[in-house]
Amino acid sequence: MPDPLTGLELRSTVSSDGNLTLTLEPVTLTPPGPDEVIVRVEAAPINPSDLGLLLGPADLATLQPGGTRDRPTLTAAIPQARLGAMKARLDKPMPVGNEGAGTVVQAGENVAGLLGKKVGMIGGAMYAQYRKIAARDCIPLPGGASAADGASMFVNPLTALAFVETLRAEGHKALVHTAAASNLGQMLNRICLADGVPLVNVVRSEAQAAILRDIGAKYIVDSSTADFREKLTDAIAETGATLAFDAIGGGRLANTILHAMEAAANRSATEYSRYGSSTFKQVYIYGALDLGPTELDRGYGFAWGVSGFLLTPFLMKLGMEGTMRLRARVAAELTTTFASHYTATISLTEALDPAVVAAYAKKATGEKYLIDPTR
């Protein structure tokens, strides 16, 4: 039987007195069970969904470093008004990191064939030097793929595929996506180009528009321009998009998209209805780049919906067979359709550096950070 392995794991704790503390804690892993593996984590991305657990509602202007060079700590204050939402996690150290990749260093008897292989994995607690995990939550990487190639093979790829699956299941013909120059947005463009799905990309700068043009995107509208609403309506009218996935969440962008969909539908209307067009318009909010309230003025008739969208419930509804079909496509197109690009690779200790935290916490479109716990 192999020896237990000890490594560091990043943990986030919100205390009942209103402080966030990030620490690196030693964790000893017992040998894997028959259907488990232990993976040496070599790459784990910092996704927006990770930041919610990692940093919570902390005021980053109050970050204070501490600890030692090898075991740094980081603390920040949490506004009292936002502490109530943290009740379920108060004083509980939480491991962080939804997904990652690395090399299998120990394997149970039923999955011994994975020993020594590089795998991508999902299941939380990935910001760690080692991770014990069920083999079913791992996917062997294709030959020649690095851990960095496989680190982001779950959250963004499966979310992008889920958007297209939803479009088909709900009978839409085209879709709108916001924050469209993100890693996820670029994947979605490549999927839609390959699958023949018209996609309207909403960005907020010319630089972001250029990123999408370079990968072949056809419909791009810039929300920073004076004619944004007109251009958005034109693109929606041309594509017939009646479905949108919004990464912003707060503010009036979802509202603007619904107005544009209604205006596009009315261009072909033959008679007036005080209830608006009969074309159903749906916006799913899947992100929170703007933490403010979602503002809707309901000036687009009655045939519309706005709701939240999360990957895990979607996959549960899709079922195991459907989920495995999506996973197989990701594995087959890992370094093409689903390639991710990283702004910087950092160590576990650097992840607790205030300046580095300030950089990755910006959630800037097109910027993505990767943690390599072996550094």
How much is the pLDDT for 85?
Answer: 86
Residue 243 half-sphere exposure toward CB, CA atoms < 13 A: 19
List, for the chain, all residue ranges whose pLDDT scores fall below the cut of 70. none
Q: Quick one: 145 and 207 in the same domain? A: no
Q: Quick one: 180 and 125 in the same domain? A: no
Q: Quick one: 99 and 178 in the same domain? A: no
Residue 333 inside a domain? The answer is: no
CATH of the domain at 126: 3.90.180.10
Q: Quick one: 164 and 278 in the same domain? A: yes
Q: Quick one: 308 and 195 in the same domain? A: yes
pTM over 0.85: yes
Q: Which long-range contacts (CB under 8 A, 24 or more apart) does 8-11 make?
A: 8/71, 8/128, 8/129, 8/348, 8/373, 9/95, 9/125, 9/127, 9/128, 9/129, 10/54, 10/95, 10/96, 10/97, 10/127, 10/128, 10/348, 10/351, 10/352, 11/93, 11/94, 11/95, 11/96
The Cα 305–Cα 90 span in angstroms is 35
Instruction: Annotate 329-352 with b (16+ C-beta within 10 A) or e (fewer).
Output: bbbebbeebbebebeeebebbbbb
Classify the phi-psi angles of 130: left when phi > 0, otherwise alpha if psi is within -120 to 50, otherwise beta. Answer: beta
Provide the domain count of the chain: 2
Interstrand relation of 290-294 and 249-251 (parallel, antiparallel or unpaired):
parallel
Any idea which residue has 């607790």 for tokens? 352
Query: What is the DSSP code string of 53-102?
Result: HHHTT--GGG-EEEE-SSSEEEEEE--HHHHGGGGGGBT--EE--SEEEE
Q: Quick one: 55 and 23 in the same domain? A: yes
Q: Quick one: 170 and 302 in the same domain? A: yes
User: Where among 277, 295, 314 does a domain terminate?
Assistant: 314
Q: Quick one: 116 and 168 in the same domain? A: no
Residue 327 inside a domain? The answer is: no
Q: Quick one: 204 and 285 in the same domain? A: yes
Q: Which domain holds residue 265?
A: 155-314
Q: From residue 319, give the alpha-carbon distance in Å to each of 159, 165, 295, 312, 325.
A: 15, 13, 34, 11, 10
Q: Quick one: 9 and 98 in the same domain? A: yes
How much is the pLDDT for 342?
Answer: 94
Contact of 116 with 52, CB cutoff 8 Å: no
SS3 46: strand
